[in-house]
Amino acid sequence: MLNSKSPVPLYHQLADILTERIRSGEYSPGQMIPSEISLAKQYGIGRPTVRQAMDTLVRKGLIHRRRGAGTFVKRPEAKVDLFSLAGTSQAFLTQGIRPGRKMISPLCLKTVEGDPENPFNGHRAFFLSRLTLAQDRPILVEDIFLDAELFLGLDKIDLRDKSLSRVVMDHYYLKPENGVQTFKVEALSGTRAKLLGLTRKDPVLVVKREINFPDAPGAVYSVLFCRTDTFAFSQTIPGEVS
């Protein structure tokens, strides 16, 4: 029950109680929780206090309101550790999801121009662009640039439906050492928006990633355009961070 003599506000106490019931499974994902009127009566408090507690749970991502229907326990989002160095295919496979691929621009050798953020700007590099689908829905577009000298002969390998990170390890015996990533939210061009089933007004997560290999820094550079309405993209932070 609530303790009116506690320095902890009543709405916070109620939010903690409901949080514990959700996490213990007493209120399961998708289940409707008691109404504000029921909770106010049960705990002997006013509806404004209950509403504050519910607002707290909404902010914590534990519940969501459906207009005219009630308040329900939110189903946990599928999380994909997309930003590890293992590659996008492995990120989905770890969650038991086999991604599909559609090649937008097949691998070719090109001179990169007009892109100062690209480490290959002014130089020749292998380039490919592909669309990744999960559960038959378009999830992300990747533009990938690779060092033409380090990956000599890559254009002779059939990359359709293959994990690029696996090809790099199996054919070139290279494993990523570390990388640098930047994140930004922005709108897409008409072409990319159409590929992802979005409009030009819909914001997406844009990730620019530079991957370093032993004795070959910046050998792979990619730009990922990610939809975030189906999966929550996560990143694991090493435990030794200080």
Q: Judging by DSSP bridges, how do beta strands 203-213 and 100-111 pair with one another?
A: unpaired
Q: Round to whole Å and give the CA distance between 106 and 193.
A: 19
CB 125 within 8 A of CB 112: yes
Alpha carbons 108 and 79: distance in angstroms, whole number: 33
Q: How far apart are CA 39 and CA 55, in angstroms?
A: 14
- List the Cα angle 157/137/76 in 5-degree steps: 115
Convert the pLDDT of each residue in 146-193 to its tens digit.
999 999 999 998 887 777 888 888 889 888 888 888 999 988 888 899
Last residue within a domain, chosen from 19, 46, 73: 73
Q: How sure is the predictor about 48, in pLDDT bands with cuts at 50, 70 and 90?
A: very high
Task: Based on the fold, state whether residues 127 and 69 are members of the same structural domain.
Answer: no
Residues 93 and 139 in one domain: yes
Let me know whether 114 and 218 are in one domain.
yes
Top-ranked range on mean pLDDT: pick from 34-38, 158-162, 185-189, 201-205 = 34-38
The answer on 82 and 33 residing in a single domain is no
Confidence of residue 200 (pLDDT cuts 50, 70, 90): confident
Q: The CATH number of the domain where 17 resides is what?
A: 1.10.10.10
Predicted confidence band of residue 71 (pLDDT cuts 50, 70, 90)? very high
In angstroms, the CA 32 to CA 41 distance is: 17
Residue 2 counted as domain residue = no
- Looking at the fold, whether 125 and 43 belong to one and the same domain comes out as no
Whether 40 shows a pLDDT value over 80: the answer reads yes
CATH of the domain at 180: 3.40.1410.10
Same domain, 137 and 94: yes
Residue carrying structure tokens 């930003």 = 83
Pair 88, 194 in one domain: yes
pTM: 0.63
Q: Does residue 140 lie in a domain region?
A: yes
Asked whether 72 and 58 are in contact (CB, 8 A), the reply is no
5 in a structural domain:
no
Q: Which of 62-71, 131-140, 227-236 has the lowest mean pLDDT?
A: 227-236
Both 20 and 92 in a single domain?
no
Q: Domain range for residue 35?
A: 10-73
Residues 38 and 147 in one domain: no
* Domain end among 23, 41, 73: 73
Would you state the pLDDT for residue 90?
63
Q: Same domain, yes or no, for 56 and 103?
A: no
Mean of the per-residue pLDDT values of the chain: 86
The residue among 73, 99, 125 that closes a domain is 73
DSSP string covering 136-166: TEEEEEEEEEEETTTTTTGGGS--TT--HHH
Q: Is 19 helix (H, G, I), strand (E, B) or coil?
A: helix
Per-residue pLDDT, 110: 95
Q: Which two tokens stand for residue 51?
A: 């509403």
For residue 103, the cross-strand partners are 130
- 63 forms beta bridges with 73
The per-residue pLDDT for range 109-146, each reduced to its tens digit, is 999 999 999 999 999 999 999 998 887 889 889 999 99
- Same domain? 164 vs 178: yes
Indicate if 158 and 64 belong to the same structural domain: no
